Structure 1
Amino acid sequence: MFVRIPALAARHGAVNLAQGVFDHGPPAELRSALATAAADPSVHQYVPTAGVPALRAAVASGASPDTEVTITAGATEALHCTMSALLGPGDEALVVEPAYEQYAPAIRAAGATPVPVRLTSPDGSFAGLLAGACTGRTRVVVVNSPWNPLGRALSDDEWAALADLAQRRGIVVVSDETYEHLVPPGTRHVGVLERVADPELRVKVSSVSKSLAATGWRIGWAVAGPGLTRRIRAVHQYVTFCPAVPLQSAVASLMASPGYGDVVASVAAGLHARATWFAEALAGLGLAAKVADSPFYLLVDVGERADAWCDRMVLDGGVAALPLSVFYSADVPSAANVVRFAVCKRQETLAEAATRLAARR
C-alpha cells in the first residue's frame, strides 16, 4: 500500500497526501548553510564513521558526542543498525501499533520476530499491554514519540510502563523521535533519554527529515549508551560508513547558529497552521478531523471502509491518502474507517485537495 497508492497518485494525477514528503524546499537558512559548507574542500571526503564531530555535539542531548552518538543515513538506517546490533535469531521485539512501516522489516532483517502490541483505540494507552506481550525472548520494544500516525506524544503512564520494562527485565527501549521538534509552541519534547534512566537500555533515533523539511537529505542519528553505541557503530560502518559529509556539515552549522530555534519553530508553526486550515476544510465536507499535537498528519473517519475509500479517491483522479489499517499487522475494527492525510504540503496543495474532495464525495 505504501508503494501502490503513491504510484497510482502519480499515474492518475491525484494530489498526493499519502506520503509524508514536503512539496516545498527546506528553509532558506539550511540551503544557505549547505552552500557555505560545500565551498569548503575538506567536506567532500570521508569523515570518521561516527559522523562529523560538530553534528554529533549538536544532537547529543546531554550524551557524549564521542561515545554515545552515531550519525546515520536518515532515521531508517539508525533503526536498521540498532536492530541488527541488538537482535538475532530467536529474539523477539515488541512493536507498538499503529506503527511506522520500517520497524517490523528492520527486526526481521536482524533474524528476530516482531511481536505486535496493538492499540485498539487511537485514544487509548498501551501501558497495560506491554508486560503481557513479553516472553523470555523479548529483547527490544520499539515506540514512536511523537507518534506517526497518531500525532501525539507518549503519555506519562506509557513512558512509566516502558521504563519499568527496561529496569525490571533489561529490555532495550528504542524510541523513534523524528517528530520531536514538531510539538505545540511552548511545549517541550520529552523522550527516552529522560524517561529511561540506564543509557544501556535506551536508544533515541531521530533525524532532520521532518524538523527541517529535508526528507531527501537522509541525515539521522542514534543516541545510546557507550556499550550499545559500539555495537550500533560496528553495524553502521559496514552499511554506509558515513552519510553525505556536506549535508552533515550544513546541518551542524545551522544547529550551532543563534537562529536555529526560530527555524525549526517556523517549520512547526507552518505545519500547525496548514493542518488547522485543512481540518476546517474537511469539517465543511462532513469529515471530522482533530488536529494532533504534532500535526504532520491528520486522521479522519470517512464513514466507510478506508481502504476502499482511498482506492476510489485516487483512481478518480482526486486525492491520495492512506488507510490507517496499513499501520497495523492485523485488522483492528476501530481503524477500519480511518484515513491518514499527510499535511506537510503547501497551502495551495491542500486547497486543491479540498476542492477535489468536495467534488467527489
Structure 2
Amino acid sequence: MVRIANPPAGAAPAESVFVRIPAAAVRHGAVNLAQGVFDHGPPEQVLAALAEVGAGGEHQYAPSAGHPLLRAALARRYGPLDPDTEITVCAGATEAYYSTMAALISPGDEAIVVEPAYEQYAPVITGFGGIVRPIRLGGLDARLDAATLAAVTTAATKAIVVNSPWNPFGRSLDDAEWQAVAELADRGIVVVSDETYEHLNLDGREHRSVLDLVGDPELRVKISSASKTLAVTGWRVGWAIAGPGLTRRIRAAHQFVTFCPPTPLQLAVARVLDSPDFDNLITGTVAGMSQRVHSFVDTLTELGIPATVPESGFYVLADVGTEATAWCERMLVDQGVAGLPLSVFYSQPMTEAATVVRFALCKQPGTLAEASRRLRDRLGKGPST
C-alpha cells in the first residue's frame, strides 16, 4: 500500500511526503509528477558556467557567509544591498529558512504560517520550541486580509511566513495581501518571504518582493535559491537577505548547520546571475514551461478534470472529483502517475482541498506526454485526435 497522506497533527514525526512518494514512484515505475524536481539538466549556459569555474581551481571552503562573488552578484540583482552585511548564502532555500527561524524563534514564541504551505515551515518552528498559528486559505479565490491576520496575531507573534509566488497555488500575493502582511511589520513582526519561484512568472508580470514592500530591513527576510530558476535542485545554493542585525543572527545559526554550500556551485551561480544573457535565459525557461503547462492542462480538460493554469511556477491544481488522497494512491499503483493531494499542504482537513491534486510539470515534454498517455488509459479515454 502507498501511504500519501501526512500523519495527523500532533503525531510523531514521519518521513516527508517528498521522501515517501518519489520512492513509491520508483517502486511502481510511475511517472513522478508529485515532486518539484526536474528530470533534465540545467540550460547550457549554466553547465558552461560550472565548467569554467571547475577549471579555475576554487575547491575549498568559501567564507561561511557565502562566496564574495556570489554575494556581490546577488547584491547587484536585488540591490541596493550590502553584500557583506545583508546576504547569507546557504545550502538551498531550505537551510536559509531553517537558519532564519533559528534566529527568530525561541521557546514560546509564535509564528503565523499561511496555508497551503510547504511542509518544512511548521516543523522548523516547533523544533525551536515555537508555536505555529496557521491561517488556512481554502481555494485559489481565497485571499489573505488584515482581519484574518489580526485574529491570529498575539503579543507573542515574532514572524509570519509567506510564499510568493506560492507553491502550490501558483500565484503571487496581490497588492492588498502584501499590504496586510506589511502592516504586521509595522507592529514589529518579521515577514519571512519564501520567493523561490520569483523568476517563473508565466503571465509575464513583474515579481514583487518583500524587499520592496517592507521598508525596515530588520523586519523582513527574503529567501530564495537557484534551484527552480536554473533547474539545479541538487546544487543546494540558496540565500537569505535581511538587515545587518538580523543577518548576524542568521549567520550565527548557519555557520553551525552547513558552514557553506559547495564553492564551485556558488561561483557558477554567480557567473550565471551576472551574465548579460541571464534575462534571455529566464525568458526561454518561462516560455518552455508555459507551453508544457498549457498542454498538460489541455489533457486534463480533455479527460474531464477541471484544472487551472498557474500564473507562476509549474504546479497545476486539478479537481479529480473524488477524495484526492485515495485517487493519488490508486493512480500511482494502477497506472503509474504520481501526483500529490493538495491536503498534504494543510495542517488540518480542508473541504475545499479534499478533491484537488497537484501535478509538478518541471519535466521533459516526453515525460509529460507519457504521463498524459497513462492518464488517458486509466481514465478510459483514447488519445486526442
TM-score by length of 2: 0.92
1:238 counterpart = 2:256: yes
Secondary structure of 1:165 counterpart: helix
Which of residues 231, 245, 269 in structure 2 aligns to 1:251?
269
CA 235–295 in structure 1, closer or farther in 2 if over 3 Å, else same: closer
Aligned residues: 359
Structure 2 alignment gaps of length 5 or more: 5-16, 380-385
Does 108-117 or 95-104 show the bigger shift? 108-117
Matched letter for residue 365 of structure 2: Q
1:146 aligns with 2:165: yes
Counting only pairs closer than 5 Å after superposition, residues 342-361 of structure 1 correspond to structure 2 as 342-361=360-379
Deviations 1:145-204 (A, max 9, x none): 00000010001111001111110x200000000000001364210110011111000000
- Counterpart of 2:13 in structure 1 is none
Find the counterpart in structure 1 of residue 137 from structure 2: 119
Residue type matched to 1:201 in 2? L
Cα distance in 2 for partners of 1:120, 1:281 equals: 25
Match in the other structure for 2:194: 176
Residue 218 of structure 1, aligned match among 236, 240, 250: 236
Partner of residue 70 from structure 2, selected from 45, 55, 73: 55
Alignment gaps of 5+ in structure 1: none
**Partners of 2:63 and 2:22 in 1: CA distance:** 37
Q: What residue in structure 1 maps to residue 208 of structure 2?
A: 190
* Misfit runs of 4+, over 3 Å: none
Equivalent residue letter for 1:115: R
User: Are 2:104 and 1:89 equivalent residues in the alignment?
Assistant: no
Q: Secondary structure at the match of 1:269?
A: helix
> What are the superposed Cα offsets for residues 71-123 of structure 1, whole Å, 9 maximum, x if unpaired?
00000000000000000100011000000111011112222111111112221
* 1:13–1:317 contact (8 Å) kept in structure 2: no
**How far apart, in 2, do the equivalents of 1:277 and 1:225 lie?**
43
User: Are 1:213 and 1:267, in contact at CA under 8 Å, matched by a contact in 2?
Assistant: no
Whole-angstrom CA distance in 1 between matches of 2:116 and 2:97: 17
Q: Does 1:13 align with 2:29?
A: yes
Q: 1:69 maps to what in 2?
A: 87
Aligned match of 1:30? 46
CA drift of 1:270 comes to 1.2
Instruction: Give 1:235-314 correspondences, 5 Å limit.
Output: 235-314=253-332
- Contact residue 118 and residue 126 of structure 1 kept, 8 A: no
Query: 1:207 maps to what in 2?
Result: 225
Shift of 1:328: 0.2
Take 1:295 and 1:248, find their aligned partners in 2: how far apart are those partners? 23
Partner in structure 1 of residue 355 of structure 2: 337
Matched residue, 1:137: 156
Q: Tell me, what secondary structure is at the counterpart of 2:267?
A: helix
Q: Alignment partner of 2:232: what SS?
A: coil
Could you tell me how far 1:5 is from its partner in structure 2? 2.2
Which residue of structure 2 aligns with residue 229 of structure 1?
247
Q: Which residue of 2 aligns with 1:160?
A: 179
Rounded to whole Å, the distance in 2 between the matches of 1:70 and 1:318 is 41
Separation in 2 of the partners of 1:253 and 1:39?
14
Counterparts of 1:270 and 1:263 in 2: how far apart (Å)?
A: 11
Give the counterpart letter for 1:99 in structure 2. Answer: A
Residue type of the alignment partner of 2:31: V
TM-score, length-scaled by structure 1: 0.98
Query: Could you say what the CA RMSD is over the residues aligned between the two structures, in angstroms?
Result: 1.0
Counterpart residue type for residue 44 of structure 1? H
Report if aligned partners of 1:75, 1:207 keep a CA contact under 8 Å in 2: yes
Is 1:51–1:71's contact at 8 Å kept on the other side of the alignment?
yes
| Partner AA of 1:134 in structure 2 | T
Looking at structure 2, the residues matched to 299 and 105 of structure 1 have their Cα atoms a distance apart, in angstroms, of 25
CA contact (8 A) 2:178 2:213 kept: yes
* Cα distance in 2 for residues equivalent to 1:253 and 1:224: 23
The whole-number CA distance in structure 2 between the counterparts of 1:121 and 1:33 is 41
